[in-house]
Amino acid sequence: MDVVDEFLRSYAREIDFNQEARLCGQACEQQLRAAGKRAIVTYRAKNPQRLGEKLRKRNQDKPYTDAQGITDDIIDLAGVRVALYFPTDQKEVDRIITNLFAPARPSKKFPDGLPKSAKNYTKQFSGYHATHYLVRLKSDALGQDQQRYTAARIEIQVASVLMHAWAEVEHDLSYKPLSGHLSIDEHAILDELNGMVLAGDIALQRLRRAFERRVDKGDAEFTNHYELAAFLYRELQQNHGDYPLGRVDHLFQLLKAFGIDKADAVKPFLSAVITDPDHDRPIAEQLIDLFIADHPDRYAAYEDIRSRSTQAPEERTPATQAALGAFITEWWKLEHLLQQHTQVAPFRLHLAAKALPPALREEYDWLRRARNDIVHGFNVPPTDRLGEISEQTSMLHDALQQHFGAPKRPKKKPPQ
């Protein structure tokens, strides 16, 4: 049995590439939905029959010596496709993929040169427009029984919905001819369709702008978090540049719970969004902090929203919930004390803290990072660790109270 046949037999019998593609595809879909990016995400393992045809053809030109040579040559055994409704979402998608997965090689953008013309036909349009990533799953995102999947390489193809459809037709007809080579007329028709798809991508960009203008009406409620994301994208691109949006779904649920899910109600918070180089947290996370600062009831509401989507209810014991509530109370006291003595808005307290003595500033900075992980992270720390952080927060509160001096008590009026 030759190398190719042995590899194909092993591929069909042992390698679960569909599972790796599924995990990758589901992670992409979850993060894109959370960030308010509309896309169709599909995944698949390489079809064994098509793979066999490809390997035998390549084996004729350059014979494989072992199975590893085949694995190194064929990079898309496991594949994920992200079909974007709006091509301009590519930047945010790039950021999400970069954060979610470990790169197996640098991303590749298409077209990567002049149009690839066929024999006897010169293309008029630029062809396939997309970005391809070759990634591996990160071990810390997998369970103990899934660690074997970190070795697999997965190709993620990101393009518009229209471009993906055209590429599927063009690829099957041009690169996998099952009934002879294409005629000049067939190449011309595919080229013409490519021009129509490129024009369609421009129309999709115009559609997005029209969508953003519609959701920018001040007195209209956002129907869903996709509309809120479009509004934020439009506002922040104009005033603050390109920053990650983050969990817009959580922000939308929080605003809706308090009846301020309208453009006019959100705009005042946008003016306070911090976009300096030392503060690069996602926009949604910053806006949530702006809204919940100095409001314990809003902290509790946000924690309830977050817990429903980031941690299984059975993992939240009453003791954990109590410890979490105790920490939020201690942190609120600390915020309130700093605000009282610095006269700085709650969301600017990290800047006011820079004026504290070094030891107090270092402790505050550490606790603030811990607070962000607890309030916005995916998993709440164990109960005992939460208790330790709460105690540290309480101790810092007392140290700051001593630093600022005891608040002056109002003088009692002498008895009449």
Tell me the mean pLDDT in the region 333-344. 85
Residues 304 and 175 in one domain: no
Residues 49 and 140 in one domain: yes
For the residues of 156-207, what is the DSSP string, one character each?
Answer: EEEEEHHHHHHHHHHHHHHTS-SSSPPPHHHHHHHHHHHHHHHHHHHHHHHH
105: β partners: 134
Higher-confidence position of 234 and 130: 130
Per-residue pLDDT reduced to its tens digit, 346-368: 667 777 788 899 999 999 999 98
pLDDT at residue 312 tops 90? no
Q: How confident is the model at residue 238 (pLDDT cuts 50, 70, 90)?
A: low
pLDDT of residue 113: 73
Mean of all residue pLDDT scores within the chain? 85
pLDDT of residue 19: 87
Residues 18 and 76 in one domain: yes
pTM, rounded to two decimals: 0.78
pLDDT of residue 378: 65
pLDDT at residue 115 tops 80? no
Residue 283 lies in a domain: no
Tell me the mean pLDDT in the region 300-310. 82
pLDDT of residue 161: 97
pLDDT of residue 154: 94
Residue 304 lies in a domain: yes
Q: How confident is the model at residue 37 (pLDDT cuts 50, 70, 90)?
A: very high
Residue 19 lies in a domain: yes
Residues 353 and 242 in one domain: no
pLDDT of residue 347: 64
pLDDT at residue 313 tops 60? no
Tell me the mean pLDDT in the region 302-323. 73
Boundary residue ending a domain (155, 175, 206) = 206
Strand, helix or coil for residue 156? strand
What percentage of the chain exceeds 90 in pLDDT?
41
Residues 58 and 133 in one domain: yes
Residues 8 and 116 in one domain: yes
The domain total for the chain is 3
Residues 196 and 237 in one domain: no
pLDDT of residue 227: 92
What phi and psi, each to the nearest 5 degrees, are found at residue 2?
Answer: -80, 175
CA distance 263 to 244: 19
For the residues of 365-406, what is the DSSP string, one character each?
Answer: HHHHHHHHHHHHSSSPPPHHHHHHHHHHHHHHHHHHHHHH-P
Range of the domain at 249: 216-275
pLDDT of residue 416: 46
121: β partners: 118
pLDDT of residue 259: 92
Q: How confident is the model at residue 339 (pLDDT cuts 50, 70, 90)?
A: confident
pLDDT at residue 26 tops 90? yes
What phi and psi, each to the nearest 5 degrees, are found at residue 315?
Answer: -80, -10
CATH code for the domain of 81: 3.30.460.10
Higher-confidence position of 219 and 329: 329
Question: How many other β-carbons are positioned within 10 Å of the β-carbon of residue 407?
Answer: 10
Tell me the mean pLDDT in the region 176-203. 86
Residue 357 lies in a domain: yes
Residues 181 and 224 in one domain: no
- Give the least confident one: 114-123, 154-163, 243-252, 257-266: 114-123
Residues 190 and 238 in one domain: no
Residues 15 and 156 in one domain: yes
Per-residue pLDDT reduced to its tens digit, 57-105: 888 888 899 888 998 898 888 999 999 999 989 988 999 999 999 999 9
Residues 53 and 181 in one domain: yes
Residues 169 and 270 in one domain: no
Residue 281 lies in a domain: no
